[in-house]
Chains A and B, each alone.
Chain A
Amino acid sequence: MRDLTDRALDTAARMGAAYADCRIIRREDESITIKTGRVEGVASGESEGFGVRVLVDGAWGFASSHDLSLDEADRVAALAARIARASATALRDRVALDDRPPASGKYETPVVEDPFAMPLERKVADLLAADRLAAGVKGVTFTESSYGAVRESKTFAATDGSFTEQVITHVGAAVEANAIDGDEHQRRSYPDAGGGWGAGGYEFIRALDLAANVGSRAEEAVALLTAPQCPAGTATVILDPSQLYNQVHESCGHPTELDRVFGTEASYAGTSFLTTDKLAEGFRYGSDLVTIVADATAPGGMGTFGWDDEGVAAQSVDLVRNGTFVGYQTSRETAPRIGRSSGGAMRADGWNRIPLIRMTNINLLPVDGMSLDDIVADTDDGLYLTTNRSWSIDDRRLNFQFATEVAYEIKGGRRGRLLKNPTYTGITYEFWRSCDAVGNAASYVMLGTPNCGKGEPSQVAHVGHGVPGARFRNVQVGVGKW
């Protein structure tokens, strides 16, 4: 690998690059899809290539190729430099990077049972058994179950002498039960719609214990067909971790990305209401119970690594401390503009994409005191919302609306009947300020999503979220006409 990175970096420097980095990535993936008891798709993929990022005349250029030959390294590095010169023809401020020590070393996701070494028959059988349990529940129209594993082997080198090697492994699985009657279509998923994912090996899948959990979810999907509609109005809402992580993702994770604040994602995903003046003033983001961090060192998180894709070491950065907005997710280019050093949040989706500021593990920290069950018991009248079904938030990350697969009515401290088609909406900071209970460490779980989109050309990131469940007051629920 060093031959290629040395060649690319030498060529880039010869072509005028003041700084250059090169990433060589080999990605393996495997997926299994089952529908209603039949194995519909088993696929295995591999992709490898390299990308060269250069700073020439104060402007960025990037080029990439699947061809790992030294001649191609020359071509790609030269093309990156040419592209950077084209960038410089429409440049107002030269790019300046913060200082960081050259990165060096190796990192590997801790894996107990290598998912790629596990016999395929075993993985298919485990998923099929769970799927058939769900499909066998009376009233289920169809099921869809999935398993996935991704391993990325990454070499990073830069003209400052950095050289790191990392192997990151993520796995996930889910069973979804669908019940349809006329125009009504209800779904319940375990552990999460689209898959419960984490960093690690097949031991993560075993711990999900799909077979033990899917039957009750399938029964709920059927029951939802005749359940009452979630009423419209204002309610106390308790968010299960399976929904709370989405709330954190959309309303804290994205708005604290400093590139969004500086407008560099404006044309696609949008900007952020958390402008830098709010950092200076100590903006009240949430209640005193709300502390949120970006922690790339959290065990089991899909945003955990040794170094980001600029060679910045993994670290934990405070975003919101006891309700006050205190920090951003940053890069070597953006952090100096607010007088800080990079928080190590630059991540790229493969060899053919540049790193962008991406969430690592954005975690709502637990609060000593009540468990999630205690919070339910402490609630006289409310809704318990679980498992995300739909999400949307405006381009500055203020007005959000979520739907969950199910709401449980809470009366007198107990979870009661099911309500279908629950939705809730609010304004980000008003919502987090209304948080009056956060679960304790016993309720804290590491979840995440394998499909966080950002950037042009589009990139998909695997992101972790540690959350314990939380309660919010005076939330608008039952949005729209049903």
Chain B
Amino acid sequence: MVSRLDAATGDDRAAAALAVAEDVVARALAAGATEAEALVTSEDAALTRFANSEIHQNVAETSIGVNLRFCVGHQVAVAATGRVDDEGLGALVDRASAIAASVEALEDWGGLPGPEGTAVLDGVEAGYADATADASPEFRADGVRAVIAAADAAGVLAYGSFSTSREGTAVANSAGIRAAQLRTSSQLLTVHMSPDGGTGYAEATATDVTTIDAAALGREAAGKARATERPISLPPGDYPVVLEEYAVIDIADMLGYLGFSALAVQEGRSFVEPGKRIGSGLVSLVDDGADPAGSPMAFDYEGVRKQRVTLLEAGICRDVVYDAQTAARDGRRSTGHGLPAPNPYGPFPINMLMSAGDTPRDELVAGLERGLLVTRFHYTNPVHPKLAIVTGMTRDGTFLVEGGKIVGPVRNLRFTQSYLDAIARVSAVSGERKALRGFLGTSVVPALRIDAWTFTGATEH
């Protein structure tokens, strides 16, 4: 059976998704819920993957999901389904109702969030591009061939992916929230490898896929792959570093994950204390779903409009992000950072932007007397969350810098480094920034020069 959501096209799709959400809320209330919330997500996503300079995986999916929060007093249940026909939605409500009848009441349940006004919350115009929504397999193959051509020209091989997606999100709840948005996103990333062991990386993320210059990314990665051939070994130790944006996004993401969540603060596991200085005066970080430099979204997965939240202002902790439940505990309104329920991780900043500095990107390295230029990190993981001590490897372009000049590539190094200490020792920030895809969202970050970084091991390449 083809549902009304499957049959809808274009802008009608957002309205159809909202209609499904409203229908599910009505069904839940009729089934005895005192509060109900329905989140409807739909996605048309495609990804073309390449390796050894040929396309080896090429996929597309059409998916729909309905997430229902069903409350009876303070007894809260969540059920989800991928079936949006009448039978599927009926079964969804039945399952949620049965769970709600079986669970204990949450003493501090703050209730579902209410609307700001009566209007339906729409998406951010800058968050959608027809070209991305309509991107074809042939369009992605064209982009991949441009990347491969750049690799061929440099005598290296290309490995990467080119993805495009259209995502619909609609939320309705019994408190009156009505929100629906369509967003698009695209990403092209490539690792180039040379026959002599060099590797290089380049990536771009955009709402409008036509702004991604595949050939330029191919040339960037190819240049670095050639420049990293025949690396030397360097002993582990403390070195000043310049981190390219591809590495800096890991710092932003990890700090967001470990600290800038209201739940992390409420559970005592965050490093954040309002007014406390944790970073250099050069480091400011906000979360802003409306900024077109990132990947705009109007509201969160609870249908609450996303607020601009200042996380770090000139190195000083200012605020954290909230969802409805953590906001209720602190007696304030959600900042619009809720994730789909059930969510034991709490709210999350998924539209972070780190402020640009006043140092031209190329001059960051010029300020290093002796240190390392790091392109990106690999497989990072917290070793001690509250101290934000993280371990990981460098990858795809690590260079020794002496006298402000790159003198050659070095083999990849392992670091075990407190990211709090790192942002405290930022001495220069690039004037340019890149939008890059992170853990859950897209962040906009500059390159950084950091006066000390602790490398604790080395590998063989």
**A joins B in a complex:** yes
- Residues of A that sit less than 8 Å from B by CB: 31, 33, 35, 38-49, 51, 59-67, 69, 71-72, 76, 79-80, 82-93, 119-121, 124, 128, 141-142, 144, 146, 178, 180, 183-185, 262-268, 270, 273, 352-354, 389-396, 398-399, 401, 403, 421, 423, 425, 427, 456-457, 476, 479-481
Cross-interface CB contact of A64 among B60, B91, B148, B386, cutoff 8 Å = B60
The 7 tightest CB contacts between A and B, nearest first, are: A41-B342, A480-B416, A86-B137, A399-B459, A45-B80, A266-B159, A43-B78
Check if A403 sits within 8 Å of B383, measured CB to CB.
yes
Which residues of B138-184 are within 8 A (CB) of A? 138, 140-141, 144-145, 148, 157, 159-161, 163
Check if B55 sits within 8 Å of A398, measured CB to CB.
no
Check if A425 sits within 8 Å of B63, measured CB to CB.
no
B344, closest chain A residue (CB): A33
B236 to chain A, nearest CB (A): 10
Classify the secondary structure of B's interface with A.
strand
Please, which residues of chain A bring their CB within 8 A of the CB of B54? Answer: 90-93
B59 to chain A, nearest CB (A): 4
Check if A59 sits within 8 Å of B103, measured CB to CB.
no
Given contacts A66-B64, A141-B268, contact A263 B59 (CB under 8 A): no
Given contacts A63-B59, A67-B2, A79-B60, contact A87 B103 (CB under 8 A): no
B77, closest chain A residue (CB): A42
The residue in A48, A62, A178 that gathers the most chain B C-beta atoms within 10 A of its C-beta is A62
A185 to B106, CA, bound (A): 26
CB<8 Å pairs between A and B, sample of 17? A42-B78, A44-B99, A46-B80, A79-B60, A86-B136, A86-B138, A89-B55, A92-B54, A119-B102, A142-B267, A180-B269, A183-B271, A185-B268, A263-B159, A270-B395, A394-B414, A395-B412
A128, closest chain B residue (CB): B104
Cross-interface CB contact of B386 among A35, A51, A80, A184, cutoff 8 Å = A184
Check if B79 sits within 8 Å of A44, measured CB to CB.
yes
A277 to chain B, nearest CB (A): 15
Please, which residues of chain A bring their CB within 8 A of the CB of B314? Answer: none
The residue in A76, A401, A403 that gathers the most chain B C-beta atoms within 10 A of its C-beta is A401
The residue in A69, A93, A394 that gathers the most chain B C-beta atoms within 10 A of its C-beta is A394
Cβ of B461 under 8 Å from chain A = yes
Cross-interface CB contact of A267 among B3, B190, B416, cutoff 8 Å = B190
- Residues of B that sit less than 8 Å from A by CB: 1-3, 6, 45-65, 76-83, 91, 95-96, 98-99, 102-104, 106-107, 136-138, 140-141, 144-145, 148, 157, 159-161, 163, 189-191, 193, 267-269, 271, 341-344, 378-387, 389, 391-393, 395, 412, 414, 416-418, 454, 456-461
Given contacts A63-B61, A86-B48, A403-B383, contact A45 B459 (CB under 8 A): no
A82 to B416, CA, bound (A): 47
A401 to B106, CA, bound (A): 40
Please, which residues of chain B bring their CB within 8 A of the CB of A120? Answer: 98-99, 102-103
Cross-interface CB contact of B391 among A121, A390, A456, cutoff 8 Å = A390
Please, which residues of chain B bring their CB within 8 A of the CB of A476? Answer: 457
Check if B51 sits within 8 Å of A266, measured CB to CB.
yes
Please, which residues of chain A bring their CB within 8 A of the CB of B65? Answer: 47
Please, which residues of chain B bring their CB within 8 A of the CB of A63? Answer: 59-61
A267 to chain B, nearest CB (A): 4
B288 to chain A, nearest CB (A): 26
The residue in A42, A62, A184, A393 that gathers the most chain B C-beta atoms within 10 A of its C-beta is A42
Please, which residues of chain A bring their CB within 8 A of the CB of B378? Answer: 270, 394-395
A62, closest chain B residue (CB): B59
Check if B145 sits within 8 Å of A89, measured CB to CB.
yes
Check if A141 sits within 8 Å of B99, measured CB to CB.
no
Check if B59 sits within 8 Å of A481, measured CB to CB.
no
Cross-interface CB contact of A427 among B63, B82, B460, cutoff 8 Å = B460
B203, closest chain A residue (CB): A267
A79 to B380, CA, bound (A): 37
A113 to B418, CA, bound (A): 46
Check if A65 sits within 8 Å of B62, measured CB to CB.
yes
Please, which residues of chain B bring their CB within 8 A of the CB of A352? Answer: 61, 63
Given contacts A40-B342, A62-B59, contact A45 B81 (CB under 8 A): yes
